[in-house]
Amino acid sequence: MKTLIVAATRAELAFFYQHYHLPEYDFVESKHFDVLITGVGMVATAFALGQYLTKNYHLVVNFGIAGCFDREIELGTLLNITEDNFAELGAENGDEFLTIKDLGFGENHFISRSKINIDLPSVTGITVNCVTGSEQSIKNLKKRFSPTTESMEGAAVFYACKQANIDCIQIRSISNYVEPRNKDNWKIGLAIKNLNEWAIAFIAEMN
Ligand SMILES: O=C(O)c1cccc(C(=O)CC[C@H]2O[C@@H](n3cnc4c(=O)[nH]cnc43)[C@H](O)[C@@H]2O)c1
């Protein structure tokens, strides 16, 4: 059985593609692993996984960059997101937020059940449709989830893997702090370089 590597954009796996001489397609098959580029966001991710996630895979690895709520963590740091949450899926009730679970319609919190030993700090993430960019939203999200990271896909990958009963890990490299938007502060190049080096070593070790 193979590993399915999932990322939102091909740019996030650029050096990985180069290293393995992969063709520039959004779904690439190779002997030990396949790669799926889903597009950004939960909808695109869920649709792509609905098309490609089959029982041929024993493991899904979601790679990407992410925002970070913790200023003690340096940009470019790699983290293992072992828990993730749909942060906006639910209902407002005045100032209170009711999750999809509170409403009785399903789960908003996912935990990786993988037993693979990952040499990175384990943290909790949130997954959003709208990148957080106001002090009030940051305060609310910290209160509700105590998150370390924010992405736009993570919890959707965990959700799909749970539905398909396939183990999943999520590795993200910190490109920016979650703050009022200022793309000049983002270190995307550094985050992608570190992410790809780790991904190449991880896949080499697994096979
Ligand atoms: O501008 C570029 O060169 C560039 C190259 C590769 C990827 C990007 C992206 O913007 C990828 C979007 C991707 O990043 C995740 N992300 C990163 N920071 C955050 C954040 O603060 N909040 C939420 N998501 C974040 C997200 O998963 C997107 O899929 C740009």
**40 Cβ closer than 6 Å to some ligand 1 atom:** yes
Q: Which atom of ligand 1 is nearest to the CA of 12?
A: 6
Give the list of residues 6+ apart from residue 183 with CB closer than 8 angstroms, or none: 176
Q: Which atom of ligand 1 is nearest to the CA of 186?
A: 18
pLDDT in tens, 84-132: 999 999 999 999 999 999 999 999 999 999 999 999 999 999 999 999 9
Residue to probe by mutation, ligand 1, list 42, 65, 137, 192, most atoms within 8 Å of CB: 65
**178 Cβ closer than 6 Å to some ligand 1 atom:** yes
DSSP string of 89-155, one letter each residue: -EEEETTEEEETTTTTS---EEE-------SS-EEEEEE-SS---SHHHHHHHHHHH--SEEESSHH
DSSP state of 158: H
pLDDT in tens, 3-41: 999 999 999 999 999 999 999 999 999 999 999 999 999
Rounded to the nearest whole angstrom, what is the distance from the C-alpha of residue 150 to the centroid of ligand 1? 10
Number of domains forming the structure of the chain: 1
Mean of pLDDT values over 48-55: 97
For all residues of the chain together, what is the average pLDDT? 97
Choice between 147 and 206, residue whose per-residue pLDDT is larger: 147
**49 Cβ closer than 6 Å to some ligand 1 atom:** no
Q: What is the three-class DSSP state of 12?
A: helix
Rounded to the nearest whole angstrom, what is the distance from the C-alpha of residue 186 to the centroid of ligand 1? 9
Residue to probe by mutation, ligand 1, list 68, 175, 187, most atoms within 8 Å of CB: 175
Rounded to the nearest whole angstrom, what is the distance from the C-alpha of residue 45 to the centroid of ligand 1? 14
Where does the pLDDT of residue 206 fall: very low under 50, low under 70, confident under 90, or very high at 90 and above?
confident
Q: What is the pLDDT of residue 46?
A: 98
Q: What CATH number did the domain enclosing 108 receive?
A: 3.40.50.1580
Mean of pLDDT values over 161-175: 98
Cβ contact 167:114 at 8 Å: yes
**140 Cβ closer than 6 Å to some ligand 1 atom:** no
Where does the pLDDT of residue 207 fall: very low under 50, low under 70, confident under 90, or very high at 90 and above?
confident
Percent of the chain's residues with pLDDT above 90: 99
Range of the domain at 114: 2-206
